[in-house]
Amino acid sequence: MSLITSTIGQGLLWGILALGLFLTFRILNFPDMTVEGTFPFGAAICVSALVHGTNPLLATLLSFLGGMLTGLVTGLLYTKGKIPVLLAGILTMTGVYSVNLRILGKANVGLLNKATLLNGHFLQKMPPNFPTIVIGLLFAVLIIFLLAIFLNTDLGQSFIATGDNENMARSLGINTDNMKILGLMLSNGLIGLAGGLLAQNGGYADVNMGIGTMVIGLAAIIIGEVVYGDLSLTARLIAVVIGSIIYRLILLLVLQLGFSTNDFKLISAIILAICMMLPLFEKKFHTRKLLKKGVTKP
């Protein structure tokens, strides 16, 4: 039971990263490699602030602002510098690595005996791993709520239109460059926030902890879409977080089957590849329709 509750809590926190990636990968329709630099950047900022006695809530907010900064850099390189978005993200990711070393002072910094959001007095009274679930659920619900409101505003609709059809959006008077910068800032802000929260949950920040985070986020997005199919935009945000939990449960199952944790990156890549091929199988074999018939059959 302890392993399951821990996995659900981890899934909720990683779901925040997946929500950030969803904004660029699904709405703006382009890959953002900044993710793998932003995640440890948010963790480094948060942990460094906590080590110096900053209030945990403020330290967490700083990780969000730090993530927005990396998104801004990538956005400016992409829109103003006319560098392809993939290369712009890689450039930012590479540069942030050195910044993380400057912030932390070394490759790895722990949070032993430091106050965090997850070891507050009230949360300490809960059973093991429940503080992670509570904090993860609070942040996930708040972020989904705020994103749902934002995406239904005029600004949010302009943001969506930019991803749907950039030429049409531009013809309607929308500044698509600004929308891309905004999207990259919001996306990376959430990814930095996830880095700060997961660093507090794990008790440390490491400059290499961003490796493979893009695969984890994509797996959560695709699993959520495969499991739930066609959904409204707000429902898709919820499905992304649920997909993140399912993904962590799959990894737990793999671990229970006797695989080494050293194989997790390989297993993550295989799971993502399978999930990305599932829509093709569904289209070819109509598995979703067959499942529905099986459920409704008397």
* Those residues with Cβ within 8 angstroms of residue 157's Cβ, 6 or more apart along the chain or in another chain: 151
Residue 282 is predicted with a pLDDT of 64
80-94 pLDDT, tens digit per residue, is 999 998 999 999 999
> Is residue 73 a contact partner of residue 92, using CB atoms and an 8 Å limit?
yes
* Those residues with Cβ within 8 angstroms of residue 40's Cβ, 6 or more apart along the chain or in another chain: 96, 97, 100, 195, 205, 206, 207, 208, 209, 210
CB atoms within 10 A of CB 181: 19
φ/ψ of 205, rounded to 5, equals -130, 140
Question: Half-sphere exposure of 194 toward its Cβ, with a 13 Å CA cutoff?
Answer: 34
Residue 129 is predicted with a pLDDT of 78
φ/ψ of 211, rounded to 5, equals -65, 125
Q: Which residues pair with 205 in a beta bridge?
A: 109
| Helix%, strand%, coil% for the chain, nearest 5 | 80, 0, 20
Residue 144 is predicted with a pLDDT of 96
Residue 286 is predicted with a pLDDT of 58
> Is residue 37 a contact partner of residue 192, using CB atoms and an 8 Å limit?
no
Tokens of 65: 């602002």
3-state DSSP call for residue 53?
coil
Residues of the chain falling short of pLDDT 70: 1, 279, 281-298
pTM: 0.90
Tokens of 3: 């392993």
First to last CA, the chain: 35
* Those residues with Cβ within 8 angstroms of residue 171's Cβ, 6 or more apart along the chain or in another chain: none
Residue 292 is predicted with a pLDDT of 47
Residue 126 is predicted with a pLDDT of 77
DSSP state of 170: H
